[in-house]
Structures are given as C-alpha cells and as structure tokens.
Amino acid sequence: MRQSVISVALPDQSYNIAIVPNGFDQLGNWVIVQAEGVNLGRQILLVSNPAIFKLYGDRVVASLTKVGFIVAVHLIPAGEQHKTLASVQKIYDSALKHRLERSSTMVALGGGVVGDMTGFAASTWLRGINFVQVPTSLLAMVDASIGGKTGVNHPKGKNLIGAFHQPRLVFIDPLVLQTLPRREFRAGMAEVIKYGVIGSPGFFEQMEAAEKLSDVQSIAPELLESIVVQSCQAKADVVSQDEKEAGLRAILNYGHTIGHAVESLGNYQDLNHGEAVAVGMVAAGRIAAGMGLWDQENCDRQEALITKAGLPVTLPVVDHGGIVTALLSDKKVKAGKVRFVLPTAIGAVVIRDDVPENLLRSVLAELGESLE
Ligand code: GLY
C-alpha cells in the first residue's frame, strides 16, 4: 500500500487527508508539518474510547510525544448514547485540568462518535482550538471525519447541537480496518457505494468487478486502499465546493432521507446508520425508477452491489406511516416538501421535492411489511 494525500481546499482553512498505511508512528510529524504557519502549542488532549485506545493508544501517544507534544488522554465510553453534551462537559473538564490553551490541539482517535464530539469540544473550548481527526472506522474515515460538521445529539434528535469546525489534518491508517467488527465495516461500505452512485461510475464498476466486498479480510489491500482514497476524494470534492451546506452538499444525503427515518423509528437499534442508508439507497433507486428518472438495469445493479457488500436491501418491520411522518419532520425538509436525492445514472443524481406520496408508499410496501 502506498501513502496518499488528498486536499480539502476551503476559503479559510484548507487541510489534508493523509492516508498512510501502518502510519501511526508518523502521526506526530504529520501534525507538525500540516500545522505549519499555525500557532501550535505543545499541549494535546487525545480523546478516544477504551477499546480503540487499548489497540492503538500507545503508538499514537508515543508518536506525538516523540516530537515534543505533551499528551493527556480522555476516554469516553463507546456508543452513540454517549454522544451528548454531558460527555462534552467531561472533555471540557479534562481540557481545564490539563490547561489547554488557544494554541492547543484536541486529537480524536476513534469512530464517528469520538470524532463528532471531540470536534465539537474543540470548536467551543476557548472559542475554538486546533483539532486533528484520526478515524478508525470505515464510516469515520470516508465520511464523518471529513467536512467539519461536528456535534452531539439532543434527546429529541441526532446531531441537533453542533458547529462547523474543520480539522487541521485527517490522518488515516487503512490497515486498522482489519480489527473493525464486520458489521461496522459493512456499515461504512454503504457510504462508499453512495459515492459511486452519486458521482463516480468508474468507482462503482471497480466495486462491481471485485470478487468480494463484504469482509475486510477478503478485499485485496490495493482495493481497500483504493476504496478509502476514492471515497475520501469524493467527500473532499463536494465539501471543497460547498463548505457550509449551501447547496451541493445535499447530494451526500443520497439514501439518508428514508435511511434516517428508518433509523430513528427503530430507535437506532434495528439497523445501524450504514444499514439504514443502504436500504434508503434501495428505496431512492426504486423511487427514481418509478418516476422514470433512471432505468431498471441500474436500479438492479445498485441492489446487487449493496447485497454484495453484505448490506440489507429490505426494510425491517416498521410502521410505513411513521416513516412518512418522520420524513416530514426531518430537519432537511424545506417549506413542507421532502427533498429526495434521486439517481439518474450510475454517477449522477438530482434533487427532487415532487416524489408522489403513493409512489413512496408503494416502494416502502415492496421493501417490507408495515407494522400497523
Ligand atoms: N463531519 C462530517 C461532515 O462534515 O460532513
């Protein structure tokens, strides 16, 4: 595997995504080089969860201390239920205890929960300090760590509290995916497939041609590297053109409209985020086919690829009326109209707010039984 560097070019603060196989020993040097010109103090608060820290913490801390940083560690329990203001308060307590200053840095080592929460703490501590993302799940590598959206959940909804705060560096070692639980790896593959459908037919075909996609161990290292690099590039391209979600970024919500509704109706227990996005893409694909926007063959190709990645293409038993209601209360609804990202080709999507409710209901009925 080679190392790759992808630039996220933004008006105020550009940064790099470094993909460095087996690279944790080099993290300290990367932070120093990438922060050139930035007032970079020696104090670092490394935030992680106990399982990830046990696997990689020593190497990461050693790499940072070797180049002169003073590293304090703050561990938070794993799981979405801990992505709360109460957990952020504890990060602030550590920041205070370890005297983090305006020039200090918070480093997030972990999945999306750790990254979103640490980023939010970094965006607000002393009105904003340096932040570095070291994502360890596929979902965090290809999506959550890139783009600057940080935040925590409110008891009434996911990610309702947050801020844009771009990292100075996203540092990825794709080899750590070898230790990721299988279901979590597959969840990340949903976002990966999304990038193929929304913008990259070549990438989609490359995945179609792969012998296997469902388990990290059965994917050739070169393909795994290519999957991470192309996905990060796809996210970086969109974010570079629309940092604050004024327009284009909406295409990243492909599969998320119905996906979010299904996820929240199942109380985030039936399906994880990636699985919900997978079914959401299937639904969006069928809606697009039903509206005559793309052909059945592409719809089938998408479903075959999702299946190949070991992801679901049917809904769990869930109240379809509840999905429709949840769609209307989604934070992305504009003027009472639900906006869907719908494919028109492998590699192209449009945004439409005129999906007929009866088509939506019939697609849901095709995908599973309703709990009435
Ligand atoms: N942090 C994820 C995003 O900005 O999209």
Is 235 an active-site residue?
A: yes
Dihedrals phi, psi of 154, to nearest 5 degrees: -100, 150
Candidates 280, 290, 265; CA nearest to 341 is: 280
**pLDDT for 93:** 98
Task: Quickly tell me which residue has 């997030």 as its tokens.
Answer: 108
Q: Helices in the chain by DSSP H: which ranges?
A: 27-34, 50-52, 58-66, 85-97, 112-124, 138-139, 182-199, 201-209, 221-241, 256-265, 273-290, 296-308, 320-329, 357-367
- Ligand 1 pocket, residue 147 CB under 6 Å: yes
Please state, in angstroms and as integers, the Cα–Cα distance from residue 164 to each residue in 139, 168, 239, following that order.
19, 13, 12
Q: What is the largest CA-CA distance in the chain?
A: 62
Report DSSP letters for 155-173, one per residue.
Answer: TTEEEEEEEE---SEEEE-
Q: Which of 120, 149, 332 to mutate to test the pocket of ligand 1 (most atoms within 8 A of CB)?
A: 149
Dihedrals phi, psi of 52, to nearest 5 degrees: -70, -40
Is 183 an active-site residue?
A: no
Indicate yes or no: pTM above 0.85.
Answer: yes
Helical packing angle, 320-329 and 357-367, nearest 10°: 130
- Ligand 1 pocket, residue 151 CB under 6 Å: no
- Ligand 1 pocket, residue 144 CB under 6 Å: yes
Amino acid code (one letter) for 293: L
227-260: b (≥16 Cβ within 10 Å) or e: bbbbbbbbbbbbbbebbebeeebbbbbbbbbbbb
What residue's CA is closest to ligand 1, atom 2? 144
Q: Compute mean pLDDT per 10 residues along the chain, 372 residues long, and list them.
A: 93 95 97 93 98 98 98 96 96 98 98 98 98 98 98 90 97 95 97 98 98 94 95 98 94 95 81 95 98 97 98 91 83 75 98 94 92 74
3-state secondary structure at position 270:
coil
